[in-house]
Structure 1
Amino acid sequence: MQEPAPRVGRPRQSRVDAAIIQATRELLAEVGYAGLTVDGIAARAGIGKAAIYRRYASKVEVVFVAVVHDVTLEPPADAGSLERDLVELAQDIVAHLSAPAAYSALPGLLADIAADPVAAQRFGVTYVGREQACVAEVLHRAVRRGELTELPDVPMVHALLLGGAFTWLFVLRRPADEHFVRQLAGAVLAALWGEGVTAPLADVSTPTRPRSE
């Protein structure tokens, strides 16, 4: 008697995942971030809203995964040196932020995150945390190679890379070409080798007032 064939559930799930992402990207191009709704995504994907909410907590998460990255983000392959690793990392960040769908959606998406403390906390743990893990891996490699004497402040290095790219693209509205990527990586490298970010920052949430004379 033959053994029954095992049930294969994951391909069906993968098709649903792909349909959600594709529908989100299509609707962003058609109606923009402000006009996008979970109802609309579900209708375009041909699924129920429950299927979306089983995967994502909100519209914010669906859009971020569709246009930037998901929780499976991996660090760049080891390029052999801290300088080359930083160039690869900067290139990945710039590519994610400057993709047309991300470029149009991110301002509204970030405004929604800022307005919702619960979403902001979840977003920080789930997605920003994954980005910082990639940065940490690059820095750990440099420590193992002897290029850095100790692990720097990972959130600060992440902020330098991401903040530099975001400001260049969204505030200054300048094109982020290969020259910019190398400049950004070089600036972060200079800060690291200049020991500007070698330890976590002290708590500066309450500024110290200068004493009056």
Structure 2
Amino acid sequence: MDHKILRTTRELIEEVGYQALTVDQVAARAGVGKAAIYRRYASKAEMAFAATAHGQWPPPLTDTGSLHGDLLALVRAFHVPMAAPPARHLVPALIGELAANPELDARFQDTFLAAEQTSFAEIIERAVARGELAGPVDPAIAHLLLLGPLATALYIHNRPVDEAMITDLAAAATAGITALADQRRSGHDGPR
């Protein structure tokens, strides 16, 4: 049933757009009751985000043996659903809804973003264990360093993101995370 709801949501977003999408339309086409949808998703926005930008989330983590390799694998995995046309139409609208709805924002933080930051925490822990990082770094900051620029390129600048940019984003995030770990180890938090 979950797969049917998400597939139907993607189809309808492509056909009618996010603004015109309704839970009633999804329920009717998927052949499920609205209650079944609302048991899974608190709102149209959450359902649409799960269907388009999040997919099977978080993506399985690959242990490549290096911080850079792990970040590169992760940004590649995030790029695929984030760059798809439905997500490129949905995410800007979702950002507006999150700003206007504190309850939806809290749920988004506690579900999708928490799962993403858990992935970053695991990558950082592995890098510390391998001796690549001088110490831990806040997973929320690592998340911003890698995925913030990807989201900006896709949703604000409307730039195509190719493999060269993905590689550059991973390299920049690796350098930033490494610098933060070194800074914290030396006792200098730097300017805020």
Query: Same fold, TM exceeding 0.5?
Result: yes
- Where does the alignment leave 5 or more consecutive residues of structure 1 unmatched? 1-15, 205-213
**Greater displacement, 72-81 / 58-67:** 72-81
Structure 2 distance, partners of 1:21, 1:81, is 34
Q: How does 1:121-200 map to 2 (within 5 A)?
A: 121-195=106-180
State the Cα distance separating 1:76 from its structure 2 match.
2.1
Moved more, 137-146 or 108-117: 108-117
d(CA) in 1 for partners of 2:82, 2:14: 16
* Residue 29 (str. 1) matches residue 14 (str. 2): yes
Between structures 1 and 2, the one with greater helix share? 2
| 1:71/1:127 contact within 8 Å kept | no
Q: Report the secondary structure of 1:194's partner residue.
A: helix
User: Which AA in structure 2 matches 1:141?
Assistant: R
Aligned residue for 2:92, secondary structure, equals helix
Matches within 5 A, 1:27-176: 27-69=12-54, 72-176=57-161
Q: Percent sequence identity over matched residues? A: 43
Q: How far apart are the structure 2 equivalents of 1:91 and 1:71? A: 14
The alpha-carbon deviation at position 29 of structure 1 amounts to 0.7
Whether the 8 Å contact between 2:27 and 2:37 is mirrored in structure 1 is yes
Aligned residue type for 1:175: P
Aligned mates of 1:172, 1:70 — CA distance in 2: 23
Q: CA RMSD in A?
A: 1.9
Kept in 2: contact 1:24–1:66 (CA 8 A): yes
Highest CA radius of gyration, 1 or 2? Answer: 1
- Structure 2 Cα separation of the partners of residues 103 and 40 of structure 1: 21
Count of residue correspondences: 187
TM superposition shift of 1:72: 4.6
C-alpha distance in 2 between matches for 1:195 and 1:187: 12
Kept after mapping to 2: 8 A contact 1:152/1:198: no
Distance 1:82 1:132 in 2: 15
Match of 1:207 in 2: none
Q: Which amino acid aligns with 1:17?
A: D
- Cα separation, partners in 2 of 1:175 and 1:72, compared to 1, 3 Å: closer
Q: How high is the TM-score relative to the length of structure 2?
A: 0.90
- After TM superposition, the runs of 4+ consecutive aligned structure 1 residues lying more than 4 A away are 196-199
Distance 1:109 1:197, change over 3 A: farther
